[in-house]
């Protein structure tokens, strides 16, 4: 019985719950996907200009995904974790 109380006290010392940390990792992966979508578009010959750098994926889609990832990160930090004691 005393060990459960000690575990509960140790959990209270963390500013975020495990659920928040998992959501933070998911948000980081979303941001990483956005940056990966920006990769590429360079020309094989440095003396030639490549129009590929202006593709929809690099100019529009990737920044939107990155901004959504940052918004998800803010939500993950602000989210109140579920109360474990009320369910048991």
Report the number of distinct structural domains present in the chain: 1
Residue 37 burial (C-beta neighbours within 10 Å; 0-12, 13-18, 19+):
middle
Domain that holds residue 69: 13-80
Distance CA(86)–CA(68), nearest Å, equals 32
Among 22-26, 49-53, 80-84, the range scoring the smallest mean pLDDT is 80-84
CA distances from 50 to 36, 40, 47 (A): 19, 11, 10
What is the average pLDDT score of the chain? 85
In a domain, 25, yes or no: yes
* pLDDT value at 86 more than 80: no
Sequence-distant (6+) residues with CB within 8 A of 22 are none
The whole-number pLDDT of residue 8 equals: 59
In a domain, 46, yes or no: yes
In a domain, 85, yes or no: no
In a domain, 8, yes or no: no
Question: The pTM is what?
Answer: 0.75
Any idea how long the chain is?
88
In a domain, 7, yes or no: no
């Amino acid at each position: 019985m005393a060990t459960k109380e000690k575990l509960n006290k140790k959990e209270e010392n963390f500013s975020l719950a495990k659920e928040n940390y998992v959501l933070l990792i998911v948000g980081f992966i979303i941001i990483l996907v956005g940056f990966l979508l920006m990769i590429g578009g360079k020309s094989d010959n440095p003396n030639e200009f490549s129009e590929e750098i202006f593709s929809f994926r690099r100019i529009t889609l990737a920044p939107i995904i990155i901004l959504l990832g940052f918004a998800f990160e803010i939500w993950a930090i602000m989210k109140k974790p579920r109360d474990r004691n009320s369910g048991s």
